[in-house]
Amino acid sequence: MARIGMIGAGSWGTALSKLLDGNGHEVTVWSAIKDEIDMLNRYREHKDKLPGVPLGDRMIFTGDLKQALCDKDAIVLAVPSPFTRKTSHLMKEVIPKDQRVISVAKGIEEDTLLTLTGVIKDEIPDCRTVVLCGPSHAEEVGRGMPTAIVAGSRDMKDSETVQDLFMCEVFRVYTSDDPYGMELGGALKNVIALAAGIADGLGYGDNTKAALITRGIHEISVLGEAAGGKRETFQGLTGIGDLIVTCASMHSRNRRAGILIGQGKSYDEAMKEVNQVVEGVYSAKAAVALAKKYGVQLPIIEQVNEILFYGKSPSKALCELMGRARKEEFT
Catalytic residues: 189
User: Alpha helices, DSSP H only, in 202-274?
Assistant: 206-226, 231-234, 242-248, 253-262, 267-274
Q: Are strands 60-62 and 147-152 parallel, antiparallel or unpaired?
A: unpaired
| Of 202, 209, 301, 190, nearest in space to 254 by CA | 190
CA-wise closest residue to 37 among 80, 2, 7, 75: 7
**Contacts (Cβ under 8 Å, ≥6 apart) of 48:** 36, 39
Q: How far apart are CA 122 and CA 120, in angstroms?
A: 5
- CB of 252 closer than 8 Å to CB of 244: no
- Full DSSP string of 170-209: TEEEEEES-HHHHHHHHHHHHHHHHHHHHHHHTT--HHHH
